[in-house]
Every structure is written in structure tokens, then in C-alpha cells.
Amino acid sequence: MLRSHILPGGQTHLADRTNHFNFGLKTQEFAVPRGVDPSRFLKSCNNEEGVCIEMNHGTTTLAFKFRHGVIVAVDSRASAGQYLASNAVNKVIEINPYLLGTMSGSAADCQYWERLLAKECRLYRLRNNQRISVSAASKLLCNMMLGYRGMGLSVGSMICGWDKEGPGLYYVDDNGTRLSGRMFSTGCGNSYAYGVIDSGYKEDMTVEEAYELGKRGITHATHRDAYSGGVVNMYHMREDGWIKVCQEDVSELIHRYKKGMFN
Amino acid sequence: MEYLIGIQGPDFVLVAADNVAASSIIQMKHDYDKMFKLSEKILLLCVGEAGDTVQFAEYIQKNVQLYKMRNVVPSSKFHFSDITQSVPFVSSQTPYHVNLLLAGYDDADGPGLFYMDHLSSLAKAPFAAHGYGAYLTLSILDRYYKPDLTQDEAMDLLKKCIEELNRRFILNLPSFSVRVIDKNGIQELQKVTVGAAK
């Protein structure tokens, strides 16, 4: 059979190859040295008395559906504790011209797993001769998260795209939560963003109004949340794919918005 | 935070669940459905730890489908409760933290409601509830439940419970999905929302 030509004799599981992600199995697939147990290590780092490693979720990202597609807006700040590591991080991964993923939580986890998701989406396209649906892509990411449940991953992501069913928006996080909805915001600035976009949202907004709402959501959140800032990176997911709308500095935006306030 | 309730009548089971999917202090969704259809006349209501709930419920759903494919005759709900009971604790390295209500109608044995929790306790009960809301509503069910209640009376009893939650429960649960299972299968009834219950 063809299989025995490709794989060494006796190996019938794809799982045996290092660094290959195999979803659905209960066994751990991460290539760790023998004797290392990630979940036990993590528990030992979370004691009140001893060493305490705090996972930070410094970010604000938001996405909402409206009549003309999906708006995705993110900030660009990366913090390591109280230190500002960078103000120019790209928190949106362009999976393919019809799929975007946002990142919040641990930068390393998000970048790795979403890049892996991009690989799986490309493989799906090659194997099935059609683009993967947003629902399936988000389910793939969700199952990856569930495979490493309890081992300290920190990922809060929104998968946005346009497929046969129309515009799609899913929220996926490291607990394995996967929710479909019309509006989500993630990161520690999410509550501030929700306040602004909830009160300004109208189903029949024009495209310009939607761009303004997305910018406002991120800007006001970065104003209040110390761990968010930098620039607003905004994308618009349309029927013919996504476009990058703008990249504007939040400090300039907030000055523009506040101009009329304190006169 | 989450709430499930089930009321069994002589020839039907009425079940309801809240519609909130929350993350810390934020309501991420207000129209989230916590009921999973296991077969034409069996519903699994599932709450608990994020991620575990959907994972567990879909696992049971697919296993039920597999069972149906392997065996020609679909099993009764009593058997399903045995399957479901084994799972929450069986993988005890990482047990699933889920609380369940299993409601169904069996053509031979009639309607049934089973209460199951994350430690794998299983009890067949005429009425049951999960969540903090249960502390407020179980006594109402004790007081007003009759074994021969009609579907309308069960609906009124459900509305009484929801009214009490709106009156005394500290958290806002604005709407509830309601379904009834009888010999004709599963019917979705109108959602009960704040204001409507009064």
C-alpha cells in the first residue's frame, strides 16, 4: 500500500512525527523533553507563598459584524509586566485573503498557534479544493486549545472571515470556549471597548460610520487601560476579501476626540 | 451564574436554560443555547466550566450517533444516562467540570428527567435545577409541583421560578430558552424574557 512507502514500517500514526499537531487525541503532542509535565510546573508557579508567574493579557482587540461585512480593530502594545516591550506589534494574522485572526493574551502562544492554524487552513484548501469555512477554522483552533487544557496557554482570539454563509465572526480562547456572535472584544481593555461600541452600534451603519466606531472603541480603551496603546490597526472584511483600512496613532486620535471636551 | 431547570409531567418534560455566555464580568453572548439534542426525543442541558461544557456535550452527542449507527434500534434514555454518567469522572486526571440535566421521552416508559453533577452523581427526579438559582427555586418547585400537572401548569411554575430569580438573584439573566419534550418530539417554545414573566 502507498502508506507503507511513505512512512517507516510499523508507524501508522501521524502522531509519531515531532512537531506535527494532531487534533482530537488525548495524548500530548508537544515535543517536550522527557520528564517534563507542563501542568504540574504551572501549578507550582502559581503558589501565593513562593514564585508567582502572572499571565498578562495586555491588549484591546475588537470585531463586529454590520451590514457591509466585519470590522476588525486592534491596538499594538506588548507589555511584559510593567515594562512596555513594544508599541508596534501586529496583532492581526492574515491567514488568507478571506480569513483574519486577532491575538490577545500571551504573544508567543497567539503567534505560534495562529500560524499553525494558517498552516492547517492552507492544507485544508489543498486537500479539499475549497477554502475552509470560518466555522471550521475556529473549530480547529478551539480543538488545539483543548488539547493543551490546563497547561498554561493564554490565547484570546477572534477568527473573522467571509465564506459561503456570509460574514463570520468567532471568539476562541484558551479554555476551549468558542462562540459565534456579531460583536466581541478581548483583552484587558475589552470592557472599555464594549462600552463604546455597544452604545454607538447601529445595524445599518455606513462603512465610514463603522470605521469611526472601530477606531473609537480601541482609542477609548487605550486611553483608560494602561496595557493597551500604540496604534489602531483596522481591517474591513468584505465579500471579496479583507482590506486594511488604517493604522493611526491612538494619542493623536484621543486628542482629536477630546478637543471639544474641556474648553 | 448559569441556571438550568427541568419539570417532568405525566406525558412531557419541560426544560429551560438561561441564555448568557459570560467571561469574568462580561456577557459575551445573550442568546447562547445550552441545550444539546442527543436524539429526536432526548435533550442534554449542560453548564459548567468554559470549554468543558461544549466539549463534553458534543462528545456524548457523537457517541450517541455512533451507537445508533452500530445498533439498529435507538436506545432508551435510561441507557443514555448510564453512558453519560461514566464520563465526567472517568478521565479523572482532568475531569470534566460539568453539571447536567438529561431530559427525554421514551415511547415505552414515558417521560424522564435525570439530574447529574460533576462528581457523577445521578438521580432521576420529577423536577431539578442547577446553578445558584437553584437555591432560590427548588423550594418553589417543592411547594407547587404536582405529579399530574398539565403543560400549562408546568409553564406557569417555570415562570414563577424565573420571576423569583429576577426578583432576588443578584445576577442579571435577561432571557431563558424553553423547550418541551413529549411523544411528538422536541418543541421549542417562546423564550421567557425579563418583563414577560411578570
* ipTM here: 0.82
pLDDT band for position A16 (cuts 50, 70, 90): very low
CA dist A20 and A188 (Å) reads 32
pLDDT tens column, B170-183: 998 999 999 999 99
Q: Could you read off the pLDDT of A141-177 as tens digits, one per residue?
A: 999 999 888 888 899 999 999 999 999 999 999 999 9
Position B33 scores a pLDDT of: 96
Does B23 lie at the interface with A, CB-CB under 8 angstroms? yes
Cell 482532568 locates to B94
pTM: 0.84
The predicted model gives A211-228 an average pLDDT of: 93
**Considering only CA atoms, which of A194, A198, A243 is closest in space to residue A61?**
A194
Phi, psi values for residue B78, rounded to 5°: -65, -40
pLDDT above 50 for B79: yes
Specify the pLDDT at position A4. 38
Q: Please check whether residue A76 is in contact with residue A88, taking contact to mean a CB–CB distance below 8 angstroms.
A: yes
Cα angle: A179, vertex B85, B18; to 5 degrees: 35
Going by pLDDT thresholds of 50, 70 and 90, the confidence category of residue A57 is: low
- Between B76 and B54, the more confident residue is B54
Residues of A with CB under 8 A from a CB of B: 26, 142, 145-146, 149-150, 171, 173, 175-179, 181, 184, 190-191, 194
- B19, B20, B29, best to mutate vs chain A, most A CBs in 10 Å: B29
Residue range A244-255: mean pLDDT, rounded: 94
For A261, which DSSP code?
A: T
Examine the pLDDT at B150 and tell me if it is beyond 80: yes
Nearest to B29 among A176, A181, A191 (CB): A181
- Minimal CA–CA distance to B130: which of B116, B111, B144, B145? B116
Do the chains contact at B51 and A181, CB–CB below 8 Å? Answer: no
What average pLDDT does the segment B110-123 reach?
A: 91
Residue % of chain A over a pLDDT of 70: 78
Could you tell me if A133 and A168 are in contact, meaning their C-beta atoms sit under 8 angstroms apart?
yes
Record: contact A194-B26, CB cut-off 8 A? yes
- The answer, yes or no, to whether residue B32 has pLDDT greater than 50, is yes
The confidence score (pLDDT) of residue B91 equals: 54
